[in-house]
């Protein structure tokens, strides 16, 4: 049975190191695409740099491997190196030379130099609310007519959302460490206008079977990030028909003519196992 979409969460697409998603570009000439994340997790942070192909060319985008990439918080500058593994799957990915954790309240500025051009972006890192708990329930409709045999457990999550501040969130859901989506192009995000103070049992993406583990990751995002994803929704919802609006590239915090988004986030996660 077709899985219903989470009612209070919006959907968008995020190009990240976990998956490759191509934007519908209005330009016919190739453009630079920059996506990156600084989180408050202590690790090698990443930035992805690629170039769209010509409108009439075959393929999607081409990794840029000769960029110079750095991030600063105004006090410390972190230099990034390309694909240090090396691993063909990581072409176009640049990782900070040292591990570091972003800090709440700081603003991070990205600088990328490619073939004589300079692109910059900045984003502020906001706190994220804690996940109180997760639970599994049997979805009766899916139990009666499962899309996959045995996959009828639905993961719900609970949290307390502070209403005195204006907050924006990004959500990712995993089954056994693999990102799961209701549709291949989904990523879920919301502002706190759509979330009640008590988040009581919001259903997550996909279904699980006995013995699976489920994980919810919750990211803080800035208002600029929310606008970027909202623009992506409008792009995805454009049917290209003669009466539809012409596609418009999402508004980005990257300056210099590139597309994409540079994001700073606090991250919390919780994991649960499907058991009797």
d(CA 192, CA 244): 30
pLDDT, average across residues 150-172? 91
| pLDDT tens digits for range 119-129 | 999 999 999 99
Lowest mean pLDDT among 12-21, 130-139, 206-215, 216-225: 12-21
* Local confidence band at 229 (pLDDT 50, 70, 90 cut-offs): confident
Reported as a pLDDT band with limits 50, 70 and 90, residue 267 is very high
Three-state DSSP state, 7 = coil
106 in Cβ contact with 72 (< 8 Å): no
Q: Is the pLDDT of residue 245 over 90?
A: no
Task: At 110, list the tokens.
Answer: 């990205």
- Work out the mean pLDDT of the chain and round it to a whole number: 85
Q: Residue ranges of the domains in the chain?
A: 32-126+239-265, 127-221+267-273
Task: Give mean pLDDT, residues 137-144.
Answer: 95
Residue pair 127/267 in contact by the 8 Å Cβ criterion: no
- Beta strands 259-265 and 32-39 are parallel
| R_g of the chain, CA atoms, integer Å | 19
Instruction: Answer yes or no: same fold for 32-126+239-265 and 127-221+267-273.
Output: yes
For the domain with range 32-126+239-265, which CATH number is right: 1.10.760, 3.60.60, 2.60.40, 3.40.50?
2.60.40
> Sign of the C-alpha dihedral, residues 222, 223, 227, 230?
positive
Q: What is the 3-state secondary structure (H, E, C) of 237-257?
A: HCCCCCCCCCCCCCCCCEECC
- 162 against 112, higher pLDDT: 112
Please give the DSSP secondary-structure letter assigned to residue 5. Answer: P
Please identify, in words, the CATH class of the domain defined by 127-221+267-273.
Answer: mainly beta
């Amino acid at each position: 049975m077709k899985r219903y979409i989470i009612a209070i969460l919006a959907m968008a697409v995020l190009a990240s190191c976990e998956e490759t998603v191509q934007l519908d570009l209005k330009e016919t000439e190739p453009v630079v695409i920059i996506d990156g994340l600084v989180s408050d997790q202590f690790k090698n942070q990443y930035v992805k740099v690629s170039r769209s192909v010509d409108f009439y060319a075959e393929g999607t985008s081409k990794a840029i491997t000769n960029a110079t990439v750095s991030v600063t918080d105004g006090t410390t500058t972190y230099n990034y190196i390309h694909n240090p593994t090396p691993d063909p799957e990581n072409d176009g990915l640049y990782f900070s030379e040292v591990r570091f954790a972003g800090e709440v309240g700081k603003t991070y500025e990205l600088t990328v130099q490619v073939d004589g051009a300079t692109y910059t972006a900045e984003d502020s890192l906001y706190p994220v609310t804690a996940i109180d708990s997760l639970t599994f329930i049997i979805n009766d409709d899916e139990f009666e007519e499962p899309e996959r045999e045995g996959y009828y457990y639905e993961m719900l999550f609970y949290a307390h959302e502070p209403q005195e501040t204006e907050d924006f969130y990004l959500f990712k859901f995993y089954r056994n460490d693999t990102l799961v989506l209701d549709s291949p192009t989904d990523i879920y995000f919301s502002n706190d206008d759509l979330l009640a103070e008590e988040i009581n049992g919001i259903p997550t993406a996909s279904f699980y079977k006995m013995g699976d583990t489920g994980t919810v990751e919750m990211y803080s995002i800035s208002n600029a990030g929310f606008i970027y994803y909202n623009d992506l929704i409008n792009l995805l919802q454009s049917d290209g028909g003669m009466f539809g609006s012409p596609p418009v590239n999402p508004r980005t915090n990257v300056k210099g003519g590139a597309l994409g988004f540079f994001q700073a986030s606090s991250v919390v996660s919780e994991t649960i196992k499907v058991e009797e």
